[in-house]
């Protein structure tokens, strides 16, 4: 569904993303992981249209959307959440989600009804009239998700929706994400919480210093020496392997 072809993004002399290519197949959850500063968020911003790539293309169902503004991409069915949550602070949960719902519902009443339905879906059903800035971090993450879902996307880009949550909140959130995927929405997620990535994603890309250094199913990727080195530093893979053999 989504194809990113050799995308490069430079900020002055800094190459944030270097010829990264990936695909997110229809109906699946694809993961994008990598150490801090690897360029995940930049790549995400390019896919969502918030940053224009220096080179490369972004395709949705074969159509080149590289030059399309953000709101057009939303109409095509791309929705995103923000790593740093961006609620409409002064509005209620219902009103927040209704802004997303308005993309495909012109009438206020329809948008509000859709918002209510989505709120229950993401577990905010009993907080509809709470002001967004009174929500906890977990609540705000759910709100991000709800607003994006209300646009009725085909492709959902999740930027660290689990970051900052405690383990029990993460356990609550994982089924929500899975249910969204099962309802037919393709998901591409950037995530630090490995437990979630392992249980949700079927295919993972690893970005380090702007390069895609590995891809594959989660368990294979997590054993890949290049990935271990990227996370833990040079020589970490051989050290951990020798430790494993000495234990055996």
Partner 1 sequence: MSARGLLPIAVVVGLLALIPLGVSANTVLNFLVFTLIIAIAAQGWNILGGYGGQFSFGHAAFFGTGAYATAMLQVHLGLNSWIAFAIGIGAGAAVGLVIGFLSFRSGLRGSYFALITLAFAEVLRIVANASAATGGAAGILIKLDVRPTNFQFHSRAAFFWIALAIVAVVLVVTRWLEHSRFGAQLIAVRENEDAARALGVDVLRVKLGAIILSAAVTASAGCLYAQYFLYLDSTIAYGVWISVEALLAPIVGGIGTVFGPLIGALALHGLGNLTSQMAGRIPGIDLVVYGALLVLAIAFAPKGLLGLVKRLRTRVTRRAIAGPG
Q: Does 151 bind partner 1 (CB under 8 A)?
A: yes
What is the nearest approach in angstroms of partner 1 to the Cβ of residue 78?
9
Among 52, 67, 75, 220, binds partner 1 (CB under 8 A): 75
What DSSP string runs through 135-197?
Answer: S-HHHHHHHHHHHHHHT--SEEEEESTTTT--HHHHHHHHHHHHHHHHTT-EEEEE-S-HHHH
Q: Does 134 bind partner 1 (CB under 8 A)?
A: no
Beta strands per DSSP E along the chain: 2-11, 14-24, 29-33, 55-60, 63-64, 78-80, 155-159, 186-190, 203-208, 211-216
**Range in contact with partner 1 (rule: CB under 8 A) among 76-84, 180-188, 196-204, 218-226:** 76-84
Q: Does 106 bind partner 1 (CB under 8 A)?
A: yes
Site residues (CB under 8 A) for partner 1, limited to 161-220: none
Q: Does 93 bind partner 1 (CB under 8 A)?
A: no
Compute CA 65 distance to the chain's CA centroid, rounded to the nearest angstrom. Answer: 18
What is the nearest approach in angstroms of partner 1 to the Cβ of residue 25?
23
Number of Cβ within a 10 Å radius of residue 115: 26
- Chain residues in the site for partner 1 (CB under 8 A): 48, 50, 69-71, 74-75, 79-80, 82, 86-91, 95, 98-100, 102-103, 105-108, 111, 147-148, 150-151
């Amino acid at each position: 569904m989504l194809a990113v072809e050799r995308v490069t993004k430079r900020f002055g002399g800094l190459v944030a993303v270097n010829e990264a290519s990936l695909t997110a197949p229809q109906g699946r959850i694809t993961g994008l992981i990598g150490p801090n500063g690897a360029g995940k968020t930049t790549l995400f911003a390019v896919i969502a249209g918030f940053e224009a790539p220096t080179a490369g293309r972004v395709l949705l169902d074969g159509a080149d959307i590289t030059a399309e503004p953000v709101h057009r991409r939303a109409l095509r069915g791309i929705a995103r959440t923000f790593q740093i949550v961006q609620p409409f602070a002064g509005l209620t949960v219902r009103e927040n989600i209704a802004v997303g719902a308005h993309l495909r519902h012109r009438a206020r009443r329809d948008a509000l009804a859709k918002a209510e339905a989505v709120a229950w879906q993401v577990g905010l059903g009993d907080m509809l009239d709470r002001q967004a800035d009174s929500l906890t971090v977990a609540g705000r993450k759910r709100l991000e998700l709800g607003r994006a879902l209300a646009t009725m996307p085909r492709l959902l880009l999740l930027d660290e929706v689990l970051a900052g949550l405690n383990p029990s909140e993460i356990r609550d959130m994982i089924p929500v994400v899975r249910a969204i995927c099962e309802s037919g929405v393709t998901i591409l997620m950037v995530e630090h919480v490995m437990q979630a990535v392992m249980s949700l994603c079927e295919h993972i890309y690893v970005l380090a210093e702007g390069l895609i250094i590995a891809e594959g199913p989660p368990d294979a990727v997590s054993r890949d020496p290049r990935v271990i080195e990227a996370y833990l530093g040079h020589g970490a893979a051989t050290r951990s392997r020798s430790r494993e053999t000495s234990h055996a």
